[in-house]
Structures are given as structure tokens and as C-alpha cells.
């Protein structure tokens, strides 16, 4: 198990948050976590204690990185620290990794497609996750963006459930 110092952990979080992250909705919280924010989250028990200590230096793992990234992504969704604490309390490693994962890339229409309202019969969000409209829906760009945005949480939930079922099936065999 690879361990990281706090500086390394914060640098890894910074790198991970460069993809699909605009910062917290509440501008009082910093866009990228720093030492002070990390210690604040740890004091509120949103982040587990260090995996081990080397003298006075705490060493952290991938779990801590996922916790930190999940906190920042949930803040970006407008969640309060209290709501985040409830959501992360007792969460398993797979669900935590899914919460920390970058959002699903936006569905882009093919190059040269009309930007005006057009009939939409289906949208693919992820491998095996397709939303079908019957009859087709007249959808503007704005509606498509709203659908894509709303689907991100659904896709994360489906991924977590698939992992859970996969793990459960392995344990039964």
C-alpha cells in the first residue's frame, strides 16, 4: 500500500480535481484543498486519521485521497459539510471511489450537427446506460445539457451498484 505525506496527498488531489471540477458552489470553500482545509475536514471526521505515523508526519493512502476529492466534488454540487458527512459515513471503498471519480463526459453531438432544436430518440451516457425517448423528444442544446448534468449522479449510482453486484457474485462463487 503506497503512502503519501500530506503535501503529496494535496498535490494528488489538485491533479485529480483538474478534470470536470469548477470548485465549490459556496465560494467560502477553496477550489483546491490546502493544509488548513484538510485539517478542518479531518477535525470534523470527514477524513479518516492517517494510516500510519512516521514520527510527527502522518502518512495517507488512496482512501484518504478519495475522501478528500469526494468532499470537494460534493461541495461543488452545493452540498453542505453536514450533508457530505452523512453521505460519506460508512461508505465502502468502491462507492467512495465512484463519488471521487470525475463526472461523466458530456454527450457531444457529431460535428456539423444543427444546434437548433431537433428530435432526440436516445442519449448514451456510459457503456450500457442509454436513455431512450419514445416518441422522440424535441430537445434544444440547453435541455440536452440539463439531461446530461442530471444523469451524472445516476451514472455514478449505476457504476457503484454494478461493482457491488460484481463483488457479491464473486463472493457467492
Q: DSSP for 58-97?
A: EEB-HHHHHHHHHHHHHHHTT--HHHHHHHHTT--HHHHH
Length, in residues, of the chain:
173
- Residue 36: pLDDT band by 50, 70, 90 thresholds? very high
Place of cell 440536452: 144
- The answer to whether residues 85 and 126 belong to one domain is no
Which of 52, 82, 102 lies at the terminal end of a domain, its last residue?
102
Counting residues of the chain whose pLDDT is more than 70, the rounded percentage is 80
Residue 110 has a pLDDT of 56
Range of the domain at 54: 6-102
More confident of the two residues 46 and 17: 46
- The answer to whether residues 120 and 86 belong to one domain is no
How does pLDDT run across 47-59, given as a tens digit for each residue? 999 999 999 999 9
Query: Please, which residues have CB within 8 angstroms of residue 71's CB and are 6 or more apart in sequence?
Result: 33, 41, 46, 47, 81, 84, 88
Q: Indicate the burial class of 4 (C-beta count within 10 angstroms; 0-12, 13-18, 19 or more).
A: buried
Amino acid at each position: 500500500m503506497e503512502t503519501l505525506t500530506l503535501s503529496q496527498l494535496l498535490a494528488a488531489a489538485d491533479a485529480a480535481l483538474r478534470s470536470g471540477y469548477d470548485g465549490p458552489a459556496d465560494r467560502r470553500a477553496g477550489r483546491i484543498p490546502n493544509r488548513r482545509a484538510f485539517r478542518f475536514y479531518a477535525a470534523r471526521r470527514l477524513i479518516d486519521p492517517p494510516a500510519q505515523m512516521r514520527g510527527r508526519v502522518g502518512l495517507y493512502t488512496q482512501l484518504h485521497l478519495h475522501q478528500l476529492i469526494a468532499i470537494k466534488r460534493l461541495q461543488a454540487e452545493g452540498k453542505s459539510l453536514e450533508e457530505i458527512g452523512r453521505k460519506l459515513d460508512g461508505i465502502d471503498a468502491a462507492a467512495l471511489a465512484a463519488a471521487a471519480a470525475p463526472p461523466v463526459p458530456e454527450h457531444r453531438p457529431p460535428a456539423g450537427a444543427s444546434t437548433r432544436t431537433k428530435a432526440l430518440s436516445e442519449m448514451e451516457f456510459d457503456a450500457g446506460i442509454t436513455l431512450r425517448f419514445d416518441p422522440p423528444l424535441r430537445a434544444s442544446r440547453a435541455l440536452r445539457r440539463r439531461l446530461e448534468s442530471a444523469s451524472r449522479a445516476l451514472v455514478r449510482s449505476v457504476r457503484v451498484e454494478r461493482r457491488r453486484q460484481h463483488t457479491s457474485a464473486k463472493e457467492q462463487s
